[in-house]
Amino acid sequence: MKARFSPFALTLGITMLGCARQAVDLNVERATVLKTIDVENADLIAADTAALRAEIPVGDTAYNVTGGQIFRTTRANALEGYDFATVRYTAASILDPPVVHLSPDGQMAWVAIRFRFTYTRKKAAAAEQHGELIDAALAVYEKKGGRWVGAALAQTFPPADH
């Protein structure tokens, strides 16, 4: 007896195979997102301007929400918020365990995290001022081309009198 397949059954089978997705290991993705954040901070401390620019894919835009404003960040203007001529970041410490949430398909993530950044600022007459900055942030990442890329960042800082 010959097996016969109807065109509908054949089409349905092909469609189902095409829609099947491989399971995503969210624990692996969570660790990879946190590693991405570590690399971003290492680039900041090293003042690696090429790496900081490369964190934003060509043609992409990331958004930074801070101080009641929304800033568009592209690869071309990625360094505008940094003053590497007078400020040298010396450390980035995570203060609280980060909260990482991933979409079920492992393509989007948001991270609630709080940092302490220490820095040295060059002053007139070769004097240096040491300081720290506390930054609480909600960062959104997208998985693009097999890597996690920042899409949006909302951050707050304690009042200056703290």
Distance between CA atoms of 46 and 84, rounded to whole angstroms?
10
Confidence (pTM): 0.80
Say if residues 107 and 73 touch (Cβ distance below 8 Å).
Answer: no
pLDDT in tens, the chain (162 residues): 555 656 655 455 555 555 556 689 999 999 999 999 999 999 999 999 999 988 888 788 899 999 999 999 988 888 887 888 899 999 999 999 999 999 999 999 999 999 999 999 998 777 899 999 999 999 999 999 999 999 999 999 988 764
Q: In whole angstroms, what is the distance from residue 2 CA to residue 95 CA? A: 68
CATH topology of domain 23-156: Nuclear Transport Factor 2; Chain: A, (3.10.450)
pLDDT value at residue 132: 95
What is the maximum span of the chain, computed from C-alpha positions, in angstroms?
A: 95
- The pLDDT of residue 79 is 86
